[in-house]
Amino acid sequence: MTINFTLNGEEKEIKVPPNKKLSYVLREDCGIRGVHPGCGQGQCGGCLVLDGINPVYSCLMPAFSLQGRNITTIEGFVQTPLFPIIEKGFKRAGVVLCDFCAPARVLSLGALILQGRNPDQAEIREQIEIVKCSCVGPDSLEMGIQIALEEHYARERR
């Protein structure tokens, strides 16, 4: 099956089996390494990407559903103006993420901002749970997310 979609701002046309999962399409057919297909069941969060402004588990998304979609991976997101804000928030909170969860954590926070949400503490805690990794404690992550959100909304007001 031939699918056409946008990946990190670039139009793609690739031939893949319709049941192949997006996480493997990205890694094997597109050379994207920031996507980590871990559990294959949408539980660990390592495969998180953005579908438009929505976070999705790429290990659950079949190739046939990619047609016409706009997919952003960490490789594309680092080129956006939001990335330095998120990076700064995490750094100021002393958050050092591992290679497994860093892309997904950044993208999940990016989705919150892109959706125009200003989450409360309970929503931030829920967001933290999207990615199952214990390299950093939830309190530090929460602080990093809050700092990034404050910085983003302060810039918007300027």
Q: List, in sequence order, every residue forming a beta bridge with 12; answer none if it has no partner.
A: 5
d(CA 28, CA 7): 14
**CATH hierarchy code of domain 82-157:** 1.10.150.120
d(CA 13, CA 134): 37
Kindly report, residue by residue over 82-122, the tens digit of the pLDDT: 999 999 999 999 999 999 999 999 999 999 999 988 899 99
The count of other CB atoms within 10 Å of the CB of residue 131 is 22
pLDDT, tens digit only, all 158 positions of the chain: 999 999 999 999 999 998 999 999 999 999 999 998 888 888 889 999 999 999 999 999 999 999 999 999 999 999 999 999 999 999 999 999 999 999 999 999 999 999 988 899 999 998 899 899 989 999 999 999 999 999 998 888 87
Residue extents of the structural domains in the chain? 2-75, 82-157
Fold of 2-75: Ubiquitin-like (UB roll) (3.10.20)
